[in-house]
Amino acid sequence: MDISVVIPLYNEEESLPELYAWIKRVMEENDFSYEIIFVDDGSTDDSWRVIKELHSRADNVKAIKFKRNYGKSPALQCAFQKVQGDVVITMDADLQDSPDEIPHLFRMIKNDGYDLVSGWKKKRYDAMLSKNLPSKLFNATARRVSKIKLHDFNCGLKSYRKAVVKNIELYNDMHRYIPVLAKEAGFTKIGERVVQHQARKYGQSKFGMSRFVNGYLDLLTLWFLNKFGKKPMHIFGLWGSVMFFIGLLAIIAVGAIKLYDMHHGNPYRLVTDSPYFFISLTMMIMGTMLFLAGFVGELVSRNSSDRNHYRIEQEF
């Protein structure tokens, strides 16, 4: 099979028939063998009824229905486990992603050798202040942290080599960082293509401003896990030890100053009267706690079921 098209959706009953017809036309014009996997993320409208009608007319229409709304990442993760096509295309169900881009995205994977190609909606029809400007700031931060030169990490229109989606795991809202996850999994040939952005035709956007705040937190989590996930002692133990020894040296200095004043008959006060004593003691306690956190993290990592799970490309 050439292509698997994965479409996560939530309350998009009006757009589904038009989207399916558009995809079908593009596939037939290019003589692609394909499947379409709809993932109904707990819709409360008639989206599931529409999907069942489409399935009754075409065997290559497949679907997954969640009992409640879990989010886009779980929807993509479940679909990725079922895809069969050599190239996987993901797109949103709101008709803002154009299926006419599919042949170009397919060829960039099959002919140009890319592992992942992300769409770039260079010209957008979103409100400048509410979506466009925050999106630019978010993508600039993601580029700097990940070192992946993409302009639009969050674009739903992407194409993947099948091996990529089979070797990454999505959870929470990590769909924004699929290129980062792919890079960490060893798929480093990541490209970009300017794609057409359609104005929303039906319904309203399901995403609010909170996604940008959550996006930054997820980016920080992803960076930390990739860098220290399997070696937590390298950060907690290091900084815990640094804080402990700085606090210890400071307490020794406080005591030494008192002994010096006593020896030379200078006025002195109790060690516990000095604020530096309590600051030093606090640093020693925090350093000990950080060190123990790293130690516990190492125990958890050592007992993890995938601690020796490595992605092997070839062997003889």
- Identity of residue 260: Y
**pLDDT for position 100:** 96
Boundaries of every domain in the chain:
3-228, 233-302
pLDDT band at 121 (very low <50, low <70, confident <90, very high): confident
**pLDDT for position 85:** 96
**pLDDT tops 80 at residue 12:** yes
**pLDDT for position 232:** 79
pLDDT band at 205 (very low <50, low <70, confident <90, very high): low
**pLDDT tops 90 at residue 308:** no
**pLDDT for position 306:** 61
Dihedral over Cα of 54, 57, 61, 65: its sign = positive
In terms of CATH architecture, what is 3-228? Answer: Alpha-Beta Complex (3.90)
Lowest-confidence pick of 16-30, 51-65, 139-153, 175-189: 139-153
Top-ranked range on mean pLDDT: pick from 122-126, 137-141, 215-219, 256-260: 256-260
**pLDDT for position 4:** 97
Q: What's the token pair of residue 127?
A: 């409100």
Distance of CA 222 to CAs 21, 56, 142, 178, 266, Å? Answer: 38, 41, 11, 11, 56
Spatial contact of 188 and 116, defined as CB atoms under 8 Å apart: no
Residues present in the chain in total? 316
Return mean pLDDT, the chain: 86
Average pLDDT over residues 123-141: 68
Lowest-confidence pick of 72-76, 150-154, 234-238, 268-272: 268-272
**pLDDT for position 137:** 80
Average pLDDT over residues 178-199: 90
CA 29 to chain centre: 34
pTM score above 0.85: no
**pLDDT for position 236:** 85
Strands of the chain (E only): list them. 3-9, 34-40, 61-65, 87-90, 116-120, 158-161, 190-194
What pLDDT, in 10s, does the model give residues 260-296?
888 888 887 788 888 888 999 999 999 999 999 888 8
**pLDDT for position 76:** 96
**pLDDT tops 60 at residue 73:** yes
Report the candidate in 54, 63, 67, 60 with the shortest Cα–Cα distance to residue 16. Answer: 54
**pLDDT for position 32:** 97
Tell me phi and psi for residue 151, to 5 degrees. -90, -20
Q: What number of CA atoms fall less than 13 Å from residue 110's CA on the CB side? A: 15
Q: Percent of the chain, pLDDT > 90?
A: 53
**pLDDT tops 80 at residue 75:** yes
**pLDDT for position 208:** 54
